[in-house]
Structure 1
């Protein structure tokens, strides 16, 4: 018999609570997948506890709702909008929600390290 595993983010394996946001983690099929939900006003450098001033996690994901940025040390700022797949290299970057609606994205790479304490 073939085992099929079904999971939902409403019942994640782990929840990483953040000020103005949360990161839910599901481990399935050898992968760690995350769902980020951030409220307007959320900013990585202010609301994610870290010993580093900027995020250095490599991300591959899909924006489900809202808009956020990836802002790199060299000054490049990229907006991530609903429906877009993204790859953020492991270069130091900040991120924040743009506008007044929540930002939601799935993370297929980097979820195991992101916002982990």
Structure 2
């Protein structure tokens, strides 16, 4: 890969969620980097499931929370909360929702090339 510098002020792609935010994506060589803005009221099963067409999120996320809070609901029944400063690895098979009345901003370096992309 060659040296690259890009900014989320000019994303390569924007993927809107059904009603509560969007994901800005930058193509960095053969990888994608995402900055997701998840508005209050956002929930994967309501805002992305209709786009993805799967029962739960099948993306693998490796990310950092810049602001806001989110609860992750794993298919195995476990839950965990993330917030500003959290570095997380989330395997496929989960739902998620924004907590509180502030948006959650999440930088994602995981396997997100297909995230919130219509199938």
Q: Same-fold call, TM > 0.5?
A: yes
2:53 counterpart residue number = 51
1:39 counterpart residue number = 39
TM-score (structure 2 length as normaliser): 0.89
Unaligned runs of 5+ in 2: none
Q: In 1, distance between residues paired with 2:110 and 2:12?
A: 17
Task: Report how many aligned residue pairs link the two structures.
Answer: 114
Unaligned runs of 5+ in 1: none
Q: In 1, distance between residues paired with 2:53 and 2:30?
A: 28
Note the aligned Cα RMSD (angstroms). Answer: 1.3
Q: Runs (4+) of structure 1 moved beyond 3 Å? A: none
CA contact (8 A) 1:67 1:79 kept: yes
Question: How far did 1:4 drift?
Answer: 4.4
1:110 counterpart residue number = 111
CA contact (8 A) 2:60 2:112 kept: no
1:85 counterpart residue number = 87
Question: How far did 1:78 drift?
Answer: 0.6
Deviations 1:3-57 (A, max 9, x none): 7432110100000011111001001243210010011000000001221121011
Question: How far did 1:73 drift?
Answer: 1.9
Whether 2:15 is the aligned partner of 1:16: answer yes
Q: In 1, distance between residues paired with 2:72 and 2:111?
A: 15
TM-score (structure 1 length as normaliser): 0.91
1:28 counterpart residue number = 28
